[in-house]
Amino acid sequence: MNRYSAFGLLRGALNGQKHWQPAWRDPEPKAHYDIIIIGGGGHGLATAYYLAKVHGLRNIAVLEKGWIGGGNTGRNTTIVRSNYRLKPLHDLFEFGLKLWHNLSDELNYNVMFSPRGAMFLGHSDADMVKLAERGDAMRCDGIDADLMTRDEVAKLEPLLDMSRNARFPIEGGLIQRRGGTARHDAVAWGYARGADSFGVDIIQKCEVNGFIRDGDAVVGVETTRGRIGAGRVGICVAGHSGHVAGLAGLKLPIESQTLQAMVTEGVKPMINSVIMSQSLHCYISQSDKGGIVFGGDPDNWPSYAQRGHPMVMEGAIAQGLALVPALSRLRMVRTWSGVTDMSFDGSPIIGETPVRNLYLNGGWCYGGFKATPASGWTYAHTLATGSPHALNAPFSLERFMTGATIDETGTGPMPNSR
Amino acid sequence: MMLINCPHCGPRAQSEFIYERTVDSVPPAGVSNDKAMQTLFTRGNPRGVDEEIWRHTFGCRAWMVVTRHRVTNGISHVRAVGPEALP
Ligand SMILES: Cc1cc2nc3c(=O)[nH]c(=O)nc-3n(C[C@H](O)[C@H](O)[C@H](O)COP(=O)(O)OP(=O)(O)OC[C@H]3O[C@@H](n4cnc5c(N)ncnc54)[C@H](O)[C@@H]3O)c2cc1C
């Protein structure tokens, strides 16, 4: 791999920057791979990277039906944090957060990770109790969390409506200062370049539309670019988990729903952290280009349309404007949406399936971007060794049958929450 | 927004309705625990047509089955459920 550096840029300046090479190859699929990963989003590419880097495997392919990073990786609001209430979740996400802090160096690719602080607002005494409880749970496991007073919140985000008659009065907050945002595309591209340098084949415009079976085992995949044999196959297709697992005859505890986001015109810095809320479902941050990035609830019915409904966006915008009234002066320039795989407890599934040699990484709902490094790391371990890493063991598919579900919101088991 | 043709009230804006679950996720009475769990916790989740249970919550409040395409949002059929649908 041609390493990127300031010195390389300077040297390139002397000959018109003609030294630039494609960051990864565009290979033809081989007849057989030891491991095939379906889906070239951040998770699939990170998995391939760690399979090569940590486990020393080389004969690996990532099959992507469109272009890498064109799914939810390239559509998300890029919030990175590990402030979850329940232990299996904050352990997994914290492992990821530690990897985030070093990711640009690790990949020799600037993922623009910006730990500007991820703050949850509390709007009532009950909210503050919930936030304190969450912060305590995190601190018991050595994860940073600071409860904030009203004044501290106002100081960090002066544009919040702190008046007592605000639509959503603010009582305080909980901040994880090591959380923040990152550059979504760069994450996919950085992992792709890293994986490619180890010899991983990244094959785009290659849709998997069937599995090749030998008795109870999967031994390969049917694709739009022909049949490809495989020792093990890992599904990693985000919102399309249900569809792809269905090709192997599996029914998952997942329903696909649309999640939308939007961005305003670029303005000077006005939002300093990532603003979220314990009671509302609206999150606000400012991109490095200056646009205010906004997201809310998923459209609460099943859809693969990759096209959202304005009434849902309207709900998120109403909440955002109530929190930061100054936003009402901005023009929205783009909205978009992605197909997310909503699991019934809100937590991901990373592990084996009832079909031999077939593995699943999915169910990330609206929160998988932050997990990209941890998801890749643990899925690589699972695919390389055939058994889960300690961090993803709780996130098995069987948990729905055994009742050991992991409630993502930390408010009690509510299988009906999706 | 979709336009849902309520069997009782006629075509109404989707914002009056709430999606509940799919028809295939309602366990029939008397099935074994395993089968009931399987039915409750898994979905066909097709990238195509499915039968969904919706409720006209901010209207007549009745349940109905909506046959809908999950990519185009096209609704091909809506039928009433519950006692009022009995012959
Ligand atoms: C609007 C929005 C906002 C979000 N905000 C956040 C956030 O702030 N923080 C956060 O942590 N998470 C967020 N998420 C969630 C996050 O984006 C996802 O959980 C995460 O990107 C999933 O990563 P992935 O690599 O699995 O998915 P993807 O990037 O979607 O990759 C899956 C890939 O599989 C490919 N594929 C599908 N079917 C096939 C097939 N049959 N054959 C071959 N390839 C196939 C797709 O083309 C796609 O490229 C958000 C999601 C959305 C939609």
Tokens of A53: 């880097």
Tokens of A75: 């559509």
> d(Cα A10, Cα A6) in Å, to the nearest integer?
6
What does the pLDDT read at residue B87?
A: 53
The residue from A293, A312, A342 where one domain ends is A342
On whether both A136 and A67 belong to a single domain, the answer is no
Within a domain: A3: no
Inspect the interface and report whether the beta carbons of B45 and A243 lie closer than 8 Å.
Answer: yes
pTM of the complete model? 0.96
Q: Tell me the DSSP string of B30-79.
A: T--HHHHHHHHH-B---SSEEEEEEE-TTTT--EEEEEEETTT--EEEEE
> pLDDT at residue A217 above 60?
yes
Inspect the interface and report whether the beta carbons of A243 and B52 lie closer than 8 Å.
Answer: no
Q: What is the CATH number of the domain that holds A350?
A: 3.50.50.60
> pLDDT at residue A412 above 80?
no
Tokens of B3: 């336009």
Nearest to B70 among A251, A303, A310 (CB): A303
Within a domain: A18: no
Domain boundaries, chain B: 1-25+47-87
Nearest to A254 among B1, B37, B43 (CB): B43
On whether both A75 and A211 belong to a single domain, the answer is yes
What does the pLDDT read at residue A2?
A: 84
Lookup result for tokens 């999606």: B19
CA of A376 to the centre of ligand 1 (A): 13
What does the pLDDT read at residue B37?
A: 84
Percent with pLDDT over 90 in chain A: 91
Nearest of A45, A360, A74, A65 to residue A200 by alpha carbon: A45
A411 band by pLDDT with thresholds 50, 70 and 90: low
A408 band by pLDDT with thresholds 50, 70 and 90: confident
Hey, which residues does A62 pair with through a beta bridge?
A37, A202
Inspect the interface and report whether the beta carbons of B45 and A246 lie closer than 8 Å.
Answer: yes
On whether both A217 and A273 belong to a single domain, the answer is no
Inspect the interface and report whether the beta carbons of B19 and A302 lie closer than 8 Å.
Answer: yes
List the domain range (segments joined by +) for residue A75. 30-82+84-109+184-254+345-417
CA of A41 to the centre of ligand 1 (A): 6
A16-20, A27-31, A86-90, A248-252: range with lowest mean pLDDT: A16-20
Nearest of A1, A18, A46 to residue A350 by alpha carbon: A46
The binding-site residues of ligand 1, defined as CB within 6 angstroms of any ligand atom, are A 38-44, 63-66, 70-73, 75-79, 207-208, 236-238, 240, 244, 259-261, 295, 337-338, 340, 364, 366-370
Within a domain: A64: yes
Within a domain: A4: no
Within a domain: A1: no
On whether both A203 and A242 belong to a single domain, the answer is yes
> d(Cα A192, Cα A41) in Å, to the nearest integer?
9
Classified as helix, coil or strand, A85 is coil
Q: How far is CA B85 from CA B21, B56, B63, in A?
A: 19, 15, 10
Within a domain: A11: no
> pLDDT at residue B60 above 70?
yes
CA of A316 to the centre of ligand 1 (A): 21
What does the pLDDT read at residue A254?
A: 94
How many interchain CB pairs under 8 A, A with B? 69
On whether both A224 and A356 belong to a single domain, the answer is yes
Per-residue pLDDT tens for A92-144? 999 999 999 999 999 999 999 999 999 999 999 999 999 999 999 999 999 99
On whether both A262 and A324 belong to a single domain, the answer is yes
Residue of A nearest to B72 (CA): A305
On whether both A248 and A262 belong to a single domain, the answer is no
What does the pLDDT read at residue B85?
A: 60
Lookup result for tokens 């501290």: A152
Q: CA of A239 to nearest chain B CA: how many angstroms apart? A: 10
Kindly report the backbone phi and psi dihedral angles of residue A373, in degrees, each rounded to the nearest multiple of 5, phi listed first.
Answer: -65, -40
> pLDDT at residue B38 above 50?
yes
Inspect the interface and report whether the beta carbons of B71 and A305 lie closer than 8 Å.
Answer: yes
Atom of ligand 1 nearest to the CA of A39: 34
Residue of A nearest to B16 (CA): A311
For residue A300, list chain B residues with Cβ-Cβ distance below 8 A: 18-19
Q: What is the CATH number of the domain that holds A163?
A: 3.30.9.10
b/e per residue A39-58 (b: at least 16 CB within 10 A) = bbbbbbbbbbbbbbbeeebe
What does the pLDDT read at residue A415?
A: 46
On whether both A282 and A412 belong to a single domain, the answer is no
On whether both A329 and A360 belong to a single domain, the answer is no
On whether both A215 and A287 belong to a single domain, the answer is no
Inspect the interface and report whether the beta carbons of A243 and B70 lie closer than 8 Å.
Answer: no
On whether both A381 and A398 belong to a single domain, the answer is yes
Mean pLDDT along residues A163-167: 95
For residue A237, list chain B residues with Cβ-Cβ distance below 8 A: none
Mean pLDDT along residues B27-37: 89
Classified as helix, coil or strand, A150 is helix
Tokens of B1: 């927004």
> d(Cα A57, Cα A336) in Å, to the nearest integer?
37
Within a domain: A13: no
A417 band by pLDDT with thresholds 50, 70 and 90: low
> pLDDT at residue A418 above 70?
no
> d(Cα A76, Cα B35) in Å, to the nearest integer?
36
Atom of ligand 1 nearest to the CA of A223: 42
Q: Which CATH architecture has domain B1-25+47-87?
A: 2-Layer Sandwich (3.30)
Within a domain: A17: no
SS (H, E, C) A12-37: HHHCCCCCCCCCCCCCCCCCEEEEEE
Pick from A113, A369, A378 the residue to mutate for probing ligand 1's pocket: most ligand atoms within 8 Å of its CB. A369
CA of A166 to the centre of ligand 1 (A): 36
On whether both A203 and A326 belong to a single domain, the answer is no
How many domains, chain A? 2
Asked if B70 and A256 touch (Cβ cutoff 8 Å), the reply is: yes
CA of B87 to the centre of ligand 1 (A): 47
